[in-house]
Structure 1
Amino acid sequence: MRRMCMGAEVPEIVVRRLPHYARALQWLEMDGVQTISSAELGARLGMTPAQIRKDLSYFGEFGKQGMGYDVTFLYEQLRQILGVDREWLAALVGIGDLGHAIARYGGFVKRGFKIAALFDQDPKKIGEQIGELEIISIDKLPMVVRGLRIQLGIIAVPAAAAQSVADLMVSAGIRGILSYAPIHLHVPRGIRIRYIDPVVSLQSMTYHLKPGSPTQDGPDESYVGE
């Protein structure tokens, strides 16, 4: 097996599939599975073996024909490719019901992300403790972000406030934004932004579920954010 070699430009759709590969491999490793074929991995993810091999080929050769992939090795390589073999700090803005749930979610830490600061503009929430973190006034975001060298921002505010929050994050030096606000945000070139809107995902499903819609064989699966 050869270690990854970053060469040709990787299509964004491939990059978005890599976390799903990594998660499946993590589960396999936890189950004690040592090797897996592209066919077996594809069956778990609802993908063809050819697609998996093609996606991985952008980064190198990770398996041997007839032997499959070493689960632990491939998992660690994907962690390096995704940059989650280190800890990333995130700032969360908007501590309403959604923000509280995000702040308490333990899955971030397990995958290389740590919410390092909480912000809100409501004076009644300032000083409230969530776990080990205290909610800070949004006015202090630039100072805190620069002081902690935070590179990621999570927006959990209403649509009307989302653009101003994004602007503040960018001016503070945040390079990647995950937004739960149901609105398109304008950010400068070089800033990465991802949206999560459960309502949009539900609407795309109801299109196929309404009477008269064409049916198809087998499950139609996708992940929110794809």
Structure 2
Amino acid sequence: MPYYIQQLRILQSENVETVSAPKIAERLNLNEVQVRKDFAAVSSSKGKPKAGFSVNDLIDNIEELLGYNNADEAVIVGAGSLAQAILAHEGFRKFGINIVAAFDVDPYRIGSTINEIKVLSSDKISDLCRRMNIHIGIITVPAKEAQVVCDQLVAGGVLAIWNFAPVHLSVPDHILVQNENLAASLAVLSKHLKQAMKEKR
């Protein structure tokens, strides 16, 4: 669904009013039957023969399905280079994420602001998350600190964690964790590239 949204927004910016399932399937290299089924399942209005589905309606319907219309507030722990890049990215609000605070243990970073987001002391994580009813925590700290940070977030009532630390986190069963291991992804990419170049030779 997020990939559909991206393509539909491009079409919307080009003032395209309707789109067919085959058109989106072609753009994403997907099976058009599956795309048609997906659109039919989420669309509040039926697609018209030849013309297809309303681009605006599809965007609204998919955003509602994914919860993009109900922005969830999040906090980020670790105010280093990666966190600064995330905080500088303006696109997260479109996907329902509103980062309201950052945390760090470095006294030189505490009290500063990154893209208008205040950096607070990490010892305030649990209390602030509990008071503000925060449900999403983003971890960008070194691996050795990640579990402690994770525990603080869980203690504060966070239900979903986006983890950029290269370590497996231990969490209660009801906590959702999405791991983003950049080093592992780069290693996979490098391996496939070497194999492709070897086959080419």
User: TM-score when scaled to structure 1?
Assistant: 0.80
**Aligned residue type for 2:56:** T
> C-alpha distance in 2, partners of 1:104/1:44?
29
Is residue 2:20 matched to residue 1:20?
no
**Contact residue 21 and residue 39 of structure 2 kept, 8 A:** no
> C-alpha distance in 2, partners of 1:153/1:188?
15
Q: What displacement does 1:65 show? A: 4.1
> C-alpha distance in 1, partners of 2:40/2:151?
37
Structure with more of its chain in helix, by fraction = 2
Unaligned runs of 5+ in 1: 1-17, 216-226
**Contact residue 208 and residue 214 of structure 1 kept, 8 A:** no
Unaligned runs of 5+ in 2: none
Q: How does 1:22-41 map to 2 (within 5 A)?
A: 22-41=5-24
User: TM-score when scaled to structure 2?
Assistant: 0.89
Please name the residue that 1:173 is paired with. Answer: 157
SS in 2 for 1:210: helix
149 and 202 in structure 1: CA distance in 2 versus 1, 3 angstrom threshold: same
Please name the residue that 1:42 is paired with. Answer: 25
SS in 1 for 2:9: helix
RMSD, aligned α-carbons = 2.2
> C-alpha distance in 1, partners of 2:125/2:48?
49
Is residue 2:178 matched to residue 1:194?
yes
Please name the residue that 2:55 is paired with. Answer: 71
Percent of residue pairs bearing the same amino acid type: 36
Residues 61-100 of structure 1 show CA distances to partners (whole Å, capped at 9, x for unaligned) of: 7524433111110110000000011221110000011111
Residues 152-192 of structure 1 show CA distances to partners (whole Å, capped at 9, x for unaligned) of: 11110111111111111111111111111112222212222
> C-alpha distance in 1, partners of 2:194/2:115?
43
Q: What displacement does 1:116 show? A: 0.3
**Aligned residue type for 1:25:** L
